[in-house]
Amino acid sequence: MARMKFLCDADRCIECNACVTACKNEHEVPWGINRRRVVTINDGLPGERSVSMACMHCVDAPCAAVCPVDCFYTTADAVVLHNKDTCIGCGYCFFACPFGAPQYPQVGNFGTRGKMDKCTYCAGGPEEDMSQAEYVKYGANRLAEGKLPLCAEMCSTKSLLAGDGDIIAEIYRERVVTRGYGSGAWGWRTAYGDTVTV
Amino acid sequence: MLRTLAARLPALALALLLAVGLVALAAPEAAAQVNPRDASVQEEQLLRALQGGGAVAGRVSIPDAGAANLIKPDNKGWASIQGTTLRVISVAAVLVTLAILAVFYAYRGRIRIDAGFSGRLIERFNGFERFGHWLLAVSFVVLAVTGLNFVVGRWTLLPIVGEEMFGTLSGWFKIAHNYMAWPFMLGLVWVFVTWVGRNLPRKVDLDWLKVGGGLFTPGLHPPAGKFNAGQKLLFWMVIIGGVGLSYSGIIMLFPWLAATPADWQFWQVVHALFAAFMSVVIFGHIYIGSLGMQGAFDAMGSGKVDENWAKEHHSLWVEEVRAAERASGTKAPASPTPAE
């Protein structure tokens, strides 16, 4: 089975935020929540890099490790999803995630946050595939249709790659070899414990 | 004037030449410096530069400033402390304490009143004192149970009741935990104000501790005031533990009070460790006040204890009460029927 990963080629990302917009639109993400965001390192300085970041769907996901109600699960494609019905909005997953992927829609008393929301790799949730219930809670399920995440599909420069980890690593490797430079697969060592060697 | 300029011309020309030469030398370096490929920042470099604590951060165009943190690998450290270490500590604390109490009970049994019930009662705790104690006690038990669910619930309760029920229950437990915190803090203040004067260390406490309070020696009853050394130790552990739990708890109730997410993580770990410690202490307290010692529960139940029990365990306090009675010329109110 495929082992799904994201790879953002920081040398190609032009900070257009098409990935952010595509995701928000496709899944009707609530106000204030950004499942995907673009971070610009060294803005205005030599070596400026932009990286598109969302949930990395880690190996041994730390969010799943700390959840008090065990609402996370990993699919056969290695996509890390969670159950919003079980989620109690305690916020632990946010503090565990190295990438800041979990987000919460509410600001209430005593730190009440509402149900956690995050990038689903366009794979929906535990509800029935492509049902209305699934769409309302988790957004579109593109993986069930055999499609890849919309953020990567909409990327204007094809800097954001999504798909089987080995395939996108190979694509990135070829790019680095051809053009002669590359700043590496951002977040891969933290998320998957390995990196793309060129 | 022209002559001065002419005289200076060679020097000027030399200076110009040097300047051009310097610029020519510097230019390729400067150009190389702004070459984005050469100055390319690698993830490996940045992670090495972090060296314990810190995040790879940049600029985002969305209002959420926290989103500017790109990668914070240290969060995985907290995740493993929370997911593994704290769980093991909490479970061990509960199980080991229960085991120790079981062994002690097997060894010593229920500590009886050696002289038997006298049938005469002395008032030990008035309504004010008892209310504060029970406010603190009941809220602590609710907080401990709901808090323990956060730490071990998914391994203990979840397999029993299933995911849907567990999610609903845990949601209610979280609400209970958040709201019971306030009566707990009120009870803590109440208990402190009521009894701090009686819990200051005295010389007699040292002697009491030297013989272990007579816990391991049937028939041995070292003198003690209203509170013996063991109770004084409990008082201060409850106050310090309670304050620690309250402080860290408030930071978790209002997460923006923590300066950074790393601070929140620190106080969460503190909260869990203090909670494990307090559970150990309170298990012992509940044991000795109920099963462990005959006649002890009455102190908090009705507020009146049997005179023989009081003489054996708090002899100095009994003398104090009798002296006060003699001074005021009245007998302390007590019913002649045995407390049953």
What DSSP line would sit under B50-119, residue for residue?
H-SS--EE-B-SSS-GGGGEEE-TTHHHHHHIIIIIHHHHHHHHHHHHHHHHHHHHHHH-SB--TT---S
Q: Which of A15, A20, A62 sits opposite B76 (nearest CB)?
A: A62
Distances (CA, A) of B123 to B127, B130, B310, B326: 10, 12, 10, 16
CA trace torsion A108, A111, A113, A118 (10° rounding): 150
> Contacts of residue A56 in chain B, CB cutoff 8 Å?
none
Is B47 among the domain residues? no
Under DSSP, the state recorded for A143 is G
pLDDT at A107: 81
pLDDT at B26: 43
Band of the pLDDT at B31, cuts 50, 70, 90?
A: very low
- The alpha-carbon gap from B17 to the nearest alpha carbon of chain A, in Å, equals 31
pLDDT at A23: 96
Kindly state the average pLDDT of the residues B186-201.
96
Kindly state the average pLDDT of the residues B228-255.
95
* H or E element at residue A72: strand A72-74
- The alpha-carbon gap from A162 to the nearest alpha carbon of chain B, in Å, equals 18
Band of the pLDDT at B5, cuts 50, 70, 90?
A: low
CATH of the domain at A55: 3.30.70.20
> Contacts of residue A62 in chain B, CB cutoff 8 Å?
75-76, 79-80, 83
Sign of the alpha-carbon dihedral angle for B97, B102, B107, B113: positive
Q: Which of A46, A111, A195 sits opposite B33 (nearest CB)?
A: A46
ipTM exceeding the 0.95 mark: no
Residue B28 has pLDDT above 80, yes or no: no
pLDDT at B35: 42
Q: Does B78 touch chain A (CB under 8 A)?
A: yes
Band of the pLDDT at B270, cuts 50, 70, 90?
A: very high
- Residue B19 or B131, more confident: B131
Is B236 among the domain residues? yes
Kindly state the average pLDDT of the residues B313-324.
92
Residue B169 has pLDDT above 90, yes or no: yes
Domain count, chain A: 1
- For A166, phi and psi rounded to 5 degrees? -65, -40
**By residue range, what is the domain housing residue A50?**
4-192
- For B55, phi and psi rounded to 5 degrees? -130, 150
Inter-chain residue contact A181 with B79, CB threshold 8 Å: no
Q: Does B257 touch chain A (CB under 8 A)?
A: no
Assigned token pair, A165: 């980890």
pLDDT at A162: 96
CATH of the domain at B117: 1.20.950.20
Is B65 among the domain residues? no
Kindly state the average pLDDT of the residues B151-168.
92
Q: Does B82 touch chain A (CB under 8 A)?
A: yes
Instruction: Name, of B19-33, B178-192, B207-221, the range with top average pLDDT.
Output: B178-192
pLDDT at B330: 65
- The alpha-carbon gap from A64 to the nearest alpha carbon of chain B, in Å, equals 9
pLDDT at B67: 87
- What is the percent of chain B where pLDDT is above 70? 82
Is A110 among the domain residues? yes
Kindly state the average pLDDT of the residues B205-226.
91
Walking along chain A (198 residues) 10 residues at a time, the average pLDDT comes out as 91 94 94 92 84 94 95 95 94 94 87 91 93 94 95 96 94 91 87 84
CA distance linking residue B277 with residue B337, whole number of Å: 40
CA distance linking residue B41 with residue A198, whole number of Å: 16
Residue type, B337: T
| Residue of A65, A51, A91 whose CA lies nearest to B41 | A51
Residue B57 neighbours by CB distance under 10 Å = 17
* Tens of pLDDT, residues B50-80: 655 567 788 898 888 888 888 888 899 999 9
**By residue range, what is the domain housing residue B215?**
75-328
pLDDT at B25: 46
> Contacts of residue B34 in chain A, CB cutoff 8 Å?
46
Is A197 among the domain residues? no
pLDDT at A81: 97
Q: Does B170 touch chain A (CB under 8 A)?
A: yes
Is A188 among the domain residues? yes
Contact A36, A19 (CB under 8 A): yes
| Residue of A20, A23, A27, A21 whose CA lies nearest to A138 | A27
Band of the pLDDT at B280, cuts 50, 70, 90?
A: very high
- The alpha-carbon gap from A147 to the nearest alpha carbon of chain B, in Å, equals 27
pLDDT at B53: 58
Inter-chain residue contact A98 with B150, CB threshold 8 Å: no
pLDDT at A183: 83
User: For the ranges A126-140, A168-182, B19-33, B325-339, which has the lowest average pLDDT?
Assistant: B19-33
Assigned token pair, B110: 């229920």
- The alpha-carbon gap from B94 to the nearest alpha carbon of chain A, in Å, equals 18
pLDDT at B41: 59
* Tens of pLDDT, residues B175-186: 999 999 999 999
Identify the closest residue of chain A to B164 by CA–CA distance.
Answer: A86
